[in-house]
Structures are given as C-alpha cells and as structure tokens.
Amino acid sequence: MEDYSPTEPGFVIWFTGLPAAGKSTLARALRQRLAAQGIPVQVLDSDELRRQLTPHPTYSPAERDWFYDTIIYLAELLARNGVHVFLAATGSRRVYREAARARLPRFAELFVDCPVTICQQRDPKGLWQRAATGQIVTLPGMGDDYEPPAHPELYVNTADKTVETAVAELWQQLQAQGLLAFFT
C-alpha cells in the first residue's frame, strides 16, 4: 500500500517557550480561530504525547533527544499527508527546533515568551513546584537551560496578555508575513 501524498504538505508551527508560558493554550486557541474558517489543524501537545510515549518520564538528556525526534517525526508524517500541525512543546534546545526546520518543508517557529517568575506563578501542571522540590531533576528554566529561538518567524509575550489578545497578535503576524496563505 502506498502512502497518500497530497500536492501540498501541511504547515507546521512549533510553539516553543518555557513550561507554563502558554504554548498549549495558544495553540488550541489559534486552532479554534482557524477551524472557524474551515481550516483544520492538529495540535501535538508534548504533555499529552509524553503521557503516551514515556508514561514514566525521567527527563534525561537521552530521553529528551529521543522524545523530540519522535514528535518531529509525528509532525512530519502528518504534514506529509497534508495535515497542518501546531507542535506545542518546550523544545528547550535549539538543535531540536533546527532538526524540525530541516525536516519540515513548511515550518515556522513561534517563541512564546514569558518570564520565569510568571511561569512559576502560573504552574498549572505543577512542574515548577515539582522541580523546586526535586521530584523533577531538571526543568528548562530551573536546573536546565532553555535556548530561546535566535530568529523565530513569530513572537508573542504572554506575560500580561489575555489569550484572545495574544491570538489576535499572532493572527496579525501570520497575515503580515503571508503565512496564512499556507493554511488555505
């Protein structure tokens, strides 16, 4: 059986930033805005994928390398078949995001910027608290470096914006850069 291969691959946006910066929230909200215009997008959320792929994560460097290679592969499979993908994942090392850029023909990086102190206050999944008490050995931003994108195509600072304001800002950037055309 042959792979289905549409004329146009899907477009992939990697939402990267510190834990609790708002990556998943923004990805879902932007997906809803596109869905309202009849444009489907698949969100690959690293937290959801991690529960399935590594149910007892160690967050070791080797596991992170494997995990990010795997989710890039999943995004690649979907995009190859014409599915638009929002990859909501910290991707703390630039090398992960550069690998995605090299493997995905239609790709953009979105830096979801938010100060560590605000991410720690939000902490909806308790990751910062678990890292502070030693339950997680390393966390990007606490015990592990986060390498922000050098030249992201898209940028939003979520420190003091509502989700609606951040999505509107992203929408304007997508329009201004002509990236919305990839979704039609």
- Give the domain extent around 107: 12-176
- Number of separate domains in the chain: 1
Give yes or no for residue 96 having a pLDDT over 80.
yes
In a domain, 149, yes or no: yes
Q: H-type helices in 94-137, by residue range?
A: 94-103, 116-122, 127-132
Which pair of tokens denotes residue 44? Answer: 């690959």
What does the pLDDT look like over 6-60, one tens digit per residue?
A: 568 999 999 999 988 999 999 999 999 999 999 999 999 998 998 899 888 877 8
In a domain, 3, yes or no: no
In a domain, 2, yes or no: no
CATH of the domain at 154: 3.40.50.300
Beta-ladder partners of 87: 14, 44
Give the CA dihedral 88, 69, 67, 95, nearest 10 degrees: -70
Q: Nearest to residue 23, comparing CAs of 119, 67, 89, 74?
A: 89
Which pair of tokens denotes residue 150? Answer: 């050098």
pTM of the model: 0.90
In a domain, 1, yes or no: no
Q: Nearest to residue 63, comparing CAs of 49, 44, 42?
A: 49
- The predicted pLDDT at position 119 comes to 83
